Amino acid sequence: MAVNDKIRALRELNNWSQEEMAERMNISKSSYSRLERDESKLDLAKLEKLAAIFKIDVAELITREDKGMVLLIGTNSGGNHTNYYGNTENMTAEIEKLKLSLQHAQEMLAAKEQMLAQKDSEIAALKALSELLQKQG
């Protein structure tokens, strides 16, 4: 995710408008808009200001996550928010674990269905035997 996309995502996560961000950074709204559209250079001072506003490290802000994906999940309650980061390698491993778990559950379900069918067959045989014994006795 590009830096300008991260800035936009973090702003939206906090439910802040571009005007609010411009005020926090002491720049005009149009200057801030150009930052989000990647039409303006981000110098170190601006990066540090943005990192402070979002309460993250500058390194977190400028690190590209090209090999995976970034999930920004959170709520704005009293200015607190949580970021969850993941990459496709971790997700692939988790998907494989879930597939194995699902396969095991399906095998267990098939075994239970087979046992139920066997039970029904035994019940039918016992009923037939009971009727036969009642006719004889």
Find tokens 């590209």 and name the residue: 64
Q: Is the separation of the CB atoms in 39 and 30 below 8 Å? A: no
What tokens does 7 get?
């800035």
Q: 8: Cβ–Cβ under 8 A, 6 or more apart, which residues?
A: 36
Q: Mean pLDDT throughout 15-41?
A: 94
Q: What is the pLDDT of residues 73-117, one digit of tens each?
A: 455 555 555 555 555 666 777 788 888 889 999 999 999 999 999
d(CA 108, CA 86): 32
d(CA 136, CA 109): 41
96 backbone dihedrals φ, ψ, rounded to 5°: -65, -40
Work out the percent of the chain whose per-residue pLDDT is above 70: 80
85 backbone dihedrals φ, ψ, rounded to 5°: -115, 140
What tokens does 137 get?
């006795």
SS3 label, residue 75: coil
Find tokens 């500058």 and name the residue: 58
Q: Give how far Cα 3 sits from Cα of 15, 39, 54, 72, Å.
A: 18, 12, 13, 14
pLDDT at 88: 66
* Secondary structure tally for the chain: helices H, strands E: 6, 2
Weakest-pLDDT range from 1-5, 17-21, 46-50: 1-5
